[in-house]
Amino acid sequence: MHRILILEDDMIQGEMIKHWIQEKYGMWKIDMVNDYHTAMKALLDSLSETPYTLFLLDVNLKSDSDNRDGFLFAQELRTKRIYYRTPILFLTQVQTEGLHAYTEFHCYNYITKPYTKDVILGQIEQMLLTDYLSSTIIISDTSKINHQFFVNDILYVRAHGPRKEIILKKSRITTRKRLSEIITLSNNLLIQCHKSYLVNPNYITSIDRQNKYLNINSEVIPLSKTYLDSFDFVNES
């Protein structure tokens, strides 16, 4: 599950962007703020909570064209080690500062207003397809060898007693970490569907609520009644 911070001084535009994203990615958590100081508080709070995985930032937060609070906020977040590589999508009416945004803040893209729903969602979809939006984690296997990989490469996790088998797109890893630890390491992208299973909601292809199972890449995964409500965002096949 991704967590997004939208910094936009125009509340109508900010809520519109939030609605577009929430409509398509119902499980994502989205915070919307409209000034630099509130954004900084959200940023600092996130350091001890669930971190953000994407920032959508308006460059000009006031009518004054010389105001660059969006850039100032980007500069502050890049000083935080956890956010050194987190994607930034700048939203602005100024068309001449794209190069500065790319070179100074290594942003993902720089979109000039007016933008559309298709443009915003298209940018996010491209990040997902290229794994740009995925953070990496390090997990040690049962032989105490560390493995680093993209969170979004995880299809599901299956528990066999104290051992947990992490099923990736192209491999699998066996670890002794608890399911709750793996959820935390995944920045809450993974969702528990059964006492012995975690799943990546991005790869759910179908769900059968009556018979209580879901499918991921043709694999049948049990779905307990306890966790049914967590999957209301998935259309039944």
What's the pLDDT tens digit per position in 181-227? 999 888 777 999 999 999 998 889 899 999 999 999 889 999 999 99
101 pLDDT tier (thresholds 50, 70, 90) = low
The mean-pLDDT minimum among 4-13, 96-105, 218-227 falls in 96-105
Residue pLDDT, tens place only, 126-159: 888 777 776 667 788 999 988 878 787 899 999 9
What is d(CA 89, CA 147) in angstroms, rounded to the nearest whole number? 30
Q: What is the mean pLDDT of residues 173-188?
A: 90
For the chain, what percent of residues have pLDDT higher than 70?
Answer: 89
Model pLDDT, residue 65: 47
Does the predicted model carry a pTM greater than 0.75? no
Model pLDDT, residue 149: 81
More confident residue, 52 or 100: 52
More confident residue, 234 or 221: 221
Q: Exposed, middle or buried: residue 198 (CB in 10 Å: 0-12, 13-18, 19+)?
A: buried
Model pLDDT, residue 119: 93
Q: What is the mean pLDDT of residues 169-191?
A: 90
Model pLDDT, residue 64: 47
